Structure 1
C-alpha cells in the first residue's frame, strides 16, 4: 500500500505520521501521480496547528501538501491530456501531495521540462505563484525601487527574481549569509534588524516605490515609514496588519493557475528563474522537515522526496 502523511488532531509536528493508505482512485477528470518531489510551505504549519481553523478547517484524518512533481500512473476515463508515464508539475487543493501517490485534477498539471529538476518542480506552485502575485500586487515595472523583506526565503527568493525580470531595482532584506546569493541575482542586499530603515534609505537615496513583505514582524510599519503608498505595499503573511493599516494582502490571488505555473516552468527551464533548494527530506522524516522550516532561516525551499 502507498504511504502518505496524516494527522488526526491539531498540534505541533509530533502529530504528523506517515501511514499506509488505500491506493487513490481517480475520478473521470483526474489522474494519479506518483510523487517524485513535494514542497512544504509555512501555511501548512499554520493549518496543522489549528490557528486557521475558522478559515480553513481540517477534516480528520487530514493530509498535507499542495505542491508536487511526479509521473502519471493512471488517468480517469475523461482525461485526454495526459497518459501514463507523463512527467508533470502541479498542485492539489485537497492537502494531499505529501504522499507517494496522489489524485490530481488533470487541469492542475503542466508538463515537466527535463531541464527542471524534480525538486524545483515539486516546490514551484505555491511559492512561484505567490511570487508572481507579489509582482502584480505592487505594480512592479522599470524604474521602480522595491524592497522585499525575507528576500532569501521560499517566496522571497522567487519574488526578487521576478521583480528583476519586471525591470525593477530590488533591495532584499536578508541575513549576511544570503547577501552573495542576492548579489548574483542582481539584488541589492541589506541586513535586517536594528537600523534597517537607515540602511534602506542609504541603498535607495531616491526613495522606495513599493514594498513586499514575506516575513511579517512589523515590516508593514517600516514600509509606511519609508513613504511607500499603501496600494504599493503587499504582505503574504501579516493579514491583521494589512487590515489595520489598509495595505494589500493578496497572497496567490489571480496567479494560482496552470497558465502561470506553465510560465514559471519555462523560466526555470531557460535558466531565468532559480528555485533554491535549502534541503530535501524523505517522506519518513516529514517532522524534521517542518522543524527545519520553522527556523525561518533557510534559503529557498524545503522539499520532501517520497
Structure 2
C-alpha cells in the first residue's frame, strides 16, 4: 500500500527541513574558516565545494546503513583518532557522527586523569568506555596519550612508557579476541600546516579556547612529537589492530578518505525496515489545550 500524496504545504516544510540539515554542515564549514578570500569564489572552487558536499552526504548515508547493520548484528566497534594538535581529528569525528544516533555511535574524549585515576591500571579508565553489542565508540585521543603527550611532556617515567609498549599490543589483541573491532587512525599534517592552523586559532576569538598551554608547548616540541610518533607506530602496529595514516593537510579530503576507509572495514548490508506509518492522532471531545502564560515564552528577538 503506497502512502497517500503529501499536502503541498507539508511537502514544502519537509523540503525545508532537509535543506536546514544541509545548512548545518555549511555552518560547520564556515566555522572552519576556509572561506577566507576571493580565490575561494572561483568557479572551480565552487564546483570543488559542491563535489565535496555531494560525496560527504553520500558517505554519511552509508554510515547510517553501517549503523543499522552494527545494531542489527550486535557488532562492537572501537575507532581511535590520534594525531598532532590541530590535525583535524575533531572535524572528522563531527562528520562521522553528524547523522548518526548518539546512543549507537558515541564519542569518548577523556580529560587528563585525576589523582585517583593516576593510581589505577593505566587502561582502566578507557575500559569503562568500550562498546557493548550494537555500539560504535570513537576515541578522540585514546590510551596512546602515554606514547605521545605523556612521553613528550614528561608525565610518565621511562619504566611506565616501556610497560605501556609491552602491554598495549596484548591489550588490543585481547579486545579483538573478545569480538571488538579496533581501528586506529593517525592524522598526519606538515609542520607548516600545523603552524598555520595554530595562527588561525590565535586570531579567531571563537576558536582561541582550543589552544591550551599544552598545545602551545607541543608546537615548540614538534621534533620530539615526531620521534614519539615514529616509535609508537613502529611498536604498536600489529596485524590484529594496525595503524592507518590519514593525509590530513587537506581537511576535506581527509574527512572523505577516512569515512570511506572506515566503511570499507565492514561487509555491511542495508538492513530492511518495515515501512513507517504515522498513526492518526487520537482526539477527544473533552480535550482543551490550556493557555501558556506569556511570561514563560522565550523572547522572540530574531
Task: Say whether the fold is shared (TM-score over 0.5).
Answer: no
TM-score by length of 2: 0.28
Between Structure 1 and Structure 2, whose CA radius of gyration is higher? 2
Higher relative contact order (CA 8 A, sep 6+): 2
More helix by share: 2
More strand by share: 1
TM-score by length of 1: 0.28
